[in-house]
Structure 1
Amino acid sequence: MSDQPESSSDFYDRVDEACSLLLARETDAALEIIDGLQAENPDSPETIYLMGLAAVTLDELGRGLVLIEAAHKADPDCLEYSEALASLHTRVGNLTEGLYYAKLSTALEPHPHARNLLPADFSNYFKSLENANLPRHHINGLIKMAHHLYEDAAREFDRHLQIVPGDVDTHREFAGACLKLGQFENAINHAATAANNAPEDCGNQLQAGRVCQAIGAFAPAAFHFKNVLDNMDAPLPLAAAAFSLADTLPDLSADTRQELRKAIAAHGIKAPGRPNEAMPSTERKAKIHIAYLSNALADVDMMAFLEPILRYHDRSRFEVHLYQQTQGESAFKQQMANRADASRYVWNLDDETGAIVIGGDEIDILVDLCSPETDNRAGLLAMHPSSIQVGIAGFGGAGLPWINHIIGDAAYKTALDDLLCAGQSLHSISPSIWSSSPSQMLPELTPPPATQSGEITFGAICDLSSLSERAVEVLTQLLKATPGSRVLFGATGHLDGYPRRRIGELFAATGVADRIDVFDENRQQDKFSVDHDFWRRIDLLVVPGAAHRPIRLLESLWMGVPVVALNEDAHIGCAAKSVLQAAERAEWVAETVEDLTATVQSISGDIDKLASLRSKLRDSLKSTALFNPRVKVRALETIYQELVEARDKAAE
């Protein structure tokens, strides 16, 4: 029992006073007293207990438990500490721990000096048992995730794990929040904990695969995604997400891709049938009813891609619907909803009800723009609520059995031809699937940094999921062929220290590691969006492999920064070529590393010419299809019209 000589009567009087203030919910006043007690005797169990009690009054139950357990460890004979733990553990749902401390309390004695340590509602274990609840922080975290409040979600998950450290579901969701925040180290730890403790859970395997892919660990990512697809009991949305993510991994063999397609086809066969009330529309109407379905309406890149389509559709021929799988509030989401003729929430509908709604809207063409997250609507699409279901190159769909048409362009055609499954057809628009209205958020042009330094700075997207061994080799050869040059990774928003270390490891043995740097985008405001100052710090943007965020290439070009890309046979490497086709800069696409180096040197060899190009590039692009999305929308409408006419002809 605590009875330290330095703990005077005055000390315990102040302990009692702090307790009284905490019980009266006067936490600030209590904390002032506690600060004084800590200064005098920081290791006393009474002070630690008071900090725990203060945490409880602030609704930090997990921290409260940790602190009160520390007080109990320092003074294991104190009745009040044990009874407080019995009550707290029971209230948050840790019934076994609560019972342990309740039994322990029967053998302990009250504190000999402090008189007011235990709140009245902590002293009745059986009352606490009646009011036992599951910890709410996990649920709060899920709600915050749905509302795109990822920092708040991470805090809630952390609070939950302080209460229930081994909760596998929370570790999995915490990993997802950390990925959104660019906190890769935490994401790795939580995803590994979930996958190791419950490897049979498909959600844990999928999350582990996503984290591995995000950090460039491609072989482990493929392993986890395959585990999901091999489990025939996996929910269809998880299987679809695993397939779509695995399909974007570099260096997958043809045999592996074929195995993935067989697996997702087997999952598709098991999908529930369509309700009788959800028959797809087959009648020709005055206007074609087209609907876009997306779970990424709060994403700035989806906004850049989809909003112009919704805006420029020909309303004399098309009735445009938007199905919102995105929860929460978002200015982007609202703006796109305003552009549609009709907008519906579908995130709150089960698959059967969603299929009935789509049938009731008489949708002729349903375009799937869902990201490969767990909330994709594969189950709904597998019911075929529309007879024409479309995927867009760059957003997935090839190989998914419920998508019967893929729309791409010439850049994607060869790569996608080999990926189509039975019943799928590929359609190409010209010149490109990629276009957007110029962003009003991008600043004015500035001269290339080489005009001041005399040396070329190559930019590269700081995306480990696209930094394959070949990409590292390409950048290494480019630097060696361009004396004095360097590579600056960026254009991804604030990230933790993991990408910098990983990039350092990848280039450590190349001989050019001292010419590699990562742009620190840790801004005070809006730190998770792209810092546009990056474009001012680079002379050219080099794309040595996949571009998972093609809108970054549009931003680079609009800022006067030339984009030079290495073409790839795989579909994940086609985006840059597609963008440059639309920009009428096909000559900036190289087929070999040698061609890439020659193209870069032809652009950057004369710094005065580079500065002139930078000053004129934006104006020259204004007339191209890249920044005139009407061109793409009209091309899409032509294909949509042909698909409906083919459907009608087949029905005759």
Structure 2
Amino acid sequence: MSETQSHAQLMEETFQEDLTILLKVLSGETQSDPVTATQYLLHKYPERSEGYFVLGVLTYLSGYVGDAISMIEKAHTIDPDVSEYALALSSLYVKADRLNDGLYFAKLGSVLDSHPQMAGILPPYLKNFVEAARVSTIHGHYVAASLAFIRRDFELVATECELELKMSHDYVPALELYAKALIEMGEHGSAIPILQRVLQLKPEDAAADKLNLAESILHLGLFEQAQAHIDEVVQSEPQSLDINAKAFYLLSGMENGEPARSRVWASMQQSGLHEAEPYFPYTPSDDGKIRIGFLSDKCYDCFEGSALSSFLRRVDRKIFQPYVYIQNFNKDNVTQAIKNWAVSAREVFDVNDKTLALILQRDGVDLLIDMCGFGPNQRLSLLAHKPCGQRLSWLAPLHGGGQPGIDTVVTDDSTDASQSRFLQTGQDTMKLRTPVFARRPAQGFLDPLSPPNEIKGYVTFGAYLDFRALASSDGALWMRVLESVPGSKLRLYIGPRISEISLARLNEIFEPKGLLDRVELYTPDEDERSGGFFDHIDIFLASRCEDRDNIILALWMGVPCLTKSDVNDPYVTYSGALLRAAGIPSWACEDDEAFLSVAKALAFDPRELAGLRKVLRGQIAKSRLMDMSGFALEFQTRLAELFSRKIQKGDLS
């Protein structure tokens, strides 16, 4: 051990001895003045955080909230990774009527590590942000709703916001949060009047609210109105990367939205979104290990989170060291699994670009895999500064152009042609033989039931209510299917409730075709089994923007799934890719006539429908779609080849 190391160890041992003495004073085990003992520790070790924290707590107990905040802020500045410091600040900020700061530190405190010795110092009434708010004059239900939103408990968010708004009808933060929760639950019709009220109450600084309104209008299939709102916001905030990125994201899922996407793309480039010099230089690994980093805002129980967790579990530790950089606040069992399988996993949602680039450099990350894309929690500016050696995009949300700074987009046979059209100069694809959407087989589902046509005597088509599909060419095609299959019904999954606006929109779409009486609305029963919606339909109709889990669940429940998958679509779609990966390319129809032909063939063959219920799950389980091990092996091999090839060429930035 060097002399420097010996000195540092001695200093730490001395500090721990002095801290133990102070803790005994605070517990009453040793009779002495707590303030004097704390000041002694603080003066002796001004570089340590513990003295500031203890003095801050004592100051608060004396009734001086402002001074307490100052002391604990110093402790947090010295040691920003301690949960107790953040939790104390969250409660103190609420008492000081600084709700936004309090909410931020409550979020932060929920993800940081505890300091065992300080945990006993923090009084109970400084541990609970919600209780601190309730005993203050702050809006308690709104506070509870804000924390529920972090946990993605959107039903609770809506309930708490409704309670808050009963007491304060025009409380804008509660109205905004209520609308966000409704959007997350897919209740866009209910969100629209709330957002309109917000814009009446807060006409200034309203870009984010206008985009949320545009998102809800878009989900009602009112494309021209949505685009008008998006254009207005982009023109009013041309320099805002966040505003432009969300606008681009919304337009990427809009049929015939290519001209508007191009305008927003140009606006983002004019506002500074283009490749820039790295914040810090990159040095390749020289220890025989390749360090791969995953930047994701979906490190929780969802398609992408499950895929990442499954991949990390299969990483060859003799070759790779995986790091994960988490962009989401909420945590669940998948988050924990990701942390367990990574060498390091840290929350970076509140870390600025330059600091995160430094973290990546210090971790020695060679290959950074972005999973955020143009999504709500994008890190476009970070990627544009080209951190690490190579940057790849995998399972990122739909977009019509490669992000600046991305070198390679991971694709497969089904997505390569579409994705390649949108690459920028210098970008390429990593085309895998295995499906890019591979995942583990679903768990916890009972065996499929017999198809409902055996009892009802007619065919029931099923779909999730999405006006983006119903008002587009998808919806027009589905109505042709209904007309082609006499007596058939279309059952739409609407969730727990539906707004009057959405009901009126359904009438507008189906009434002119004389098909309104052929539409059934489905609300899940509290006691129904997992996948219960698919027990009630014979054939599932998937839109081009269908949630991937819906398609997989339909197949798993023995229900044939049809979609139109035109390779000439102006944006990348995933529905057809999933069906091809599942080994059923004939259900990913290239045009309307092929779709009609397959739909009628299935509808008029009840024996085939009954047979599929019995065998489809087994076929899917054996398909490449469920071969996560095969995907992980090929993906790792290709990553290693990419790293070696770029090193040999000297092409790492």
Into which bin does the TM-score normalised by the smaller protein fall?
0.7 to 0.9
Match of 1:563 in 2: 561
CA distance in 1: counterparts of 2:286 and 2:249, whole angstroms: 33
**Gap regions ≥5 residues in structure 2:** 1-95, 99-134
Q: Following TM superposition, by how much is the alpha carbon of 1:536 offset from its aligned partner in structure 2, in angstroms?
A: 0.9
RMSD: 3.0
Q: Does 1:194 align with 2:193?
A: no
What TM-score do the two structures reach when normalised by structure 1?
0.72
Match of 1:144 in 2: 148
| C-alpha distance 161-603 of structure 1, shift in aligned 2 (>3 A) | closer
CA distance in 1: counterparts of 2:324 and 2:570, whole angstroms: 27
Q: Following TM superposition, by how much is the alpha carbon of 1:563 offset from its aligned partner in structure 2, in angstroms?
A: 1.2
Tell me if the contact between 1:565 and 1:596 (Cα under 8 Å) persists in the aligned partners.
Answer: yes
CA distance in 1: counterparts of 2:298 and 2:349, whole angstroms: 12
Match of 1:413 in 2: 416
Q: Following TM superposition, by how much is the alpha carbon of 1:167 offset from its aligned partner in structure 2, in angstroms?
A: 4.9
Q: Following TM superposition, by how much is the alpha carbon of 1:138 offset from its aligned partner in structure 2, in angstroms?
A: 4.7
Q: Following TM superposition, by how much is the alpha carbon of 1:379 offset from its aligned partner in structure 2, in angstroms?
A: 3.6
Q: Following TM superposition, by how much is the alpha carbon of 1:191 offset from its aligned partner in structure 2, in angstroms?
A: 2.0
Whichever residue aligns with residue 506 of structure 2, its letter is: I
SS of 1:225's equivalent in the other structure is helix
SS of 2:547's equivalent in the other structure is coil
| C-alpha distance 384-174 of structure 1, shift in aligned 2 (>3 A) | farther
Tell me if the contact between 2:579 and 2:585 (Cα under 8 Å) persists in the aligned partners.
Answer: yes
| C-alpha distance 616-351 of structure 1, shift in aligned 2 (>3 A) | same
Q: Does 1:351 align with 2:350?
A: no
SS of 1:488's equivalent in the other structure is strand
Q: Following TM superposition, by how much is the alpha carbon of 1:475 offset from its aligned partner in structure 2, in angstroms?
A: 0.8
SS of 1:631's equivalent in the other structure is helix
Q: Which moved more, 1:434-443 or 1:207-216?
A: 207-216
Whichever residue aligns with residue 183 of structure 1, its letter is: E
Match of 1:296 in 2: 298
Match of 1:225 in 2: 230
Q: 2:332 aligns with which of 322, 330, 333?
A: 330
What are the within-5 Å matches in structure 2 for residues 349-388 of structure 1? 349-370=351-372, 374-388=376-390
CA distance in 1: counterparts of 2:631 and 2:337, whole angstroms: 20
Q: Following TM superposition, by how much is the alpha carbon of 1:161 offset from its aligned partner in structure 2, in angstroms?
A: 4.8
Match of 1:212 in 2: 217
CA distance in 1: counterparts of 2:287 and 2:496, whole angstroms: 49
| C-alpha distance 245-451 of structure 1, shift in aligned 2 (>3 A) | same
Tell me if the contact between 2:273 and 2:380 (Cα under 8 Å) persists in the aligned partners.
Answer: no
Q: Does 1:436 align with 2:439?
A: yes
Match of 2:646 in 1: 647
Q: Does 1:481 align with 2:484?
A: yes
Tell me if the contact between 1:184 and 1:496 (Cα under 8 Å) persists in the aligned partners.
Answer: no
Tell me if the contact between 1:486 and 1:516 (Cα under 8 Å) persists in the aligned partners.
Answer: yes
What are the within-5 Å matches in structure 2 for residues 44-83 of structure 1? none
Match of 2:175 in 1: 171
Match of 1:52 in 2: none
Q: Does 1:635 align with 2:640?
A: no
| C-alpha distance 558-268 of structure 1, shift in aligned 2 (>3 A) | farther
SS of 2:271's equivalent in the other structure is helix
Q: Following TM superposition, by how much is the alpha carbon of 1:274 offset from its aligned partner in structure 2, in angstroms?
A: 5.0
| C-alpha distance 286-470 of structure 1, shift in aligned 2 (>3 A) | same
Tell me if the contact between 1:494 and 1:521 (Cα under 8 Å) persists in the aligned partners.
Answer: yes
Match of 1:537 in 2: 536
| C-alpha distance 209-371 of structure 1, shift in aligned 2 (>3 A) | farther
Match of 1:549 in 2: 547
CA distance in 2: counterparts of 1:256 and 1:328, whole angstroms: 33
Whichever residue aligns with residue 332 of structure 1, its letter is: V
Tell me if the contact between 1:209 and 1:221 (Cα under 8 Å) persists in the aligned partners.
Answer: yes
CA distance in 2: counterparts of 1:374 and 1:590, whole angstroms: 31
Match of 1:180 in 2: 184
Q: Following TM superposition, by how much is the alpha carbon of 1:440 offset from its aligned partner in structure 2, in angstroms?
A: 0.9
| C-alpha distance 386-158 of structure 1, shift in aligned 2 (>3 A) | farther
Q: 2:392 aligns with which of 390, 393, 398?
A: 390
Q: Following TM superposition, by how much is the alpha carbon of 1:233 offset from its aligned partner in structure 2, in angstroms?
A: 5.8
Tell me if the contact between 2:555 and 2:616 (Cα under 8 Å) persists in the aligned partners.
Answer: yes
Q: Following TM superposition, by how much is the alpha carbon of 1:607 offset from its aligned partner in structure 2, in angstroms?
A: 1.0
CA distance in 2: counterparts of 1:141 and 1:400, whole angstroms: 34
Deviations 1:322-348 (A, max 9, x none): 211121331222222223232111123
| C-alpha distance 266-140 of structure 1, shift in aligned 2 (>3 A) | farther
CA distance in 2: counterparts of 1:635 and 1:228, whole angstroms: 43
Equivalenced residue count is 516
What are the within-5 Å matches in structure 2 for residues 281-292 of structure 1? 281-292=283-294
Deviations 1:159-203 (A, max 9, x none): 555666545454333211121234334311222233454265332
Q: 1:506 aligns with which of 501, 505, 509?
A: 509
SS of 1:518's equivalent in the other structure is strand
Q: Following TM superposition, by how much is the alpha carbon of 1:476 offset from its aligned partner in structure 2, in angstroms?
A: 1.0
Q: Which moved more, 1:598-607 or 1:533-542?
A: 598-607
CA distance in 1: counterparts of 2:619 and 2:376, whole angstroms: 41
Match of 2:129 in 1: none
Q: Following TM superposition, by how much is the alpha carbon of 1:204 offset from its aligned partner in structure 2, in angstroms?
A: 1.8
| C-alpha distance 247-625 of structure 1, shift in aligned 2 (>3 A) | same
Deviations 1:366-390 (A, max 9, x none): 2222275543333433333223222
Q: Does 1:445 align with 2:448?
A: yes
Tell me if the contact between 1:401 and 1:422 (Cα under 8 Å) persists in the aligned partners.
Answer: no
Tell me if the contact between 1:92 and 1:163 (Cα under 8 Å) persists in the aligned partners.
Answer: no
Deviations 1:478-498 (A, max 9, x none): 1111112111122x7434245
CA distance in 2: counterparts of 1:279 and 1:241, whole angstroms: 30
Match of 1:27 in 2: none
Tell me if the contact between 1:412 and 1:571 (Cα under 8 Å) persists in the aligned partners.
Answer: no
Max Rg structure = 1
What are the within-5 Å matches in structure 2 for residues 562-581 of structure 1? 562-568=560-566, 569-570=568-569, 572=571, 574-581=573-580
CA distance in 1: counterparts of 2:410 and 2:636, whole angstroms: 11
| C-alpha distance 605-236 of structure 1, shift in aligned 2 (>3 A) | same
CA distance in 2: counterparts of 1:424 and 1:172, whole angstroms: 39
Whichever residue aligns with residue 423 of structure 2, its letter is: L
Match of 1:242 in 2: 247
Q: Does 1:279 align with 2:277?
A: no
Tell me if the contact between 1:542 and 1:563 (Cα under 8 Å) persists in the aligned partners.
Answer: yes
What TM-score do the two structures reach when normalised by structure 2?
0.72
Tell me if the contact between 1:405 and 1:427 (Cα under 8 Å) persists in the aligned partners.
Answer: yes
Identity of aligned residues (%): 22
SS of 2:512's equivalent in the other structure is coil
Q: Does 1:470 align with 2:473?
A: yes
| C-alpha distance 534-368 of structure 1, shift in aligned 2 (>3 A) | same
**Gap regions ≥5 residues in structure 1:** 1-90, 94-130
| C-alpha distance 579-438 of structure 1, shift in aligned 2 (>3 A) | same
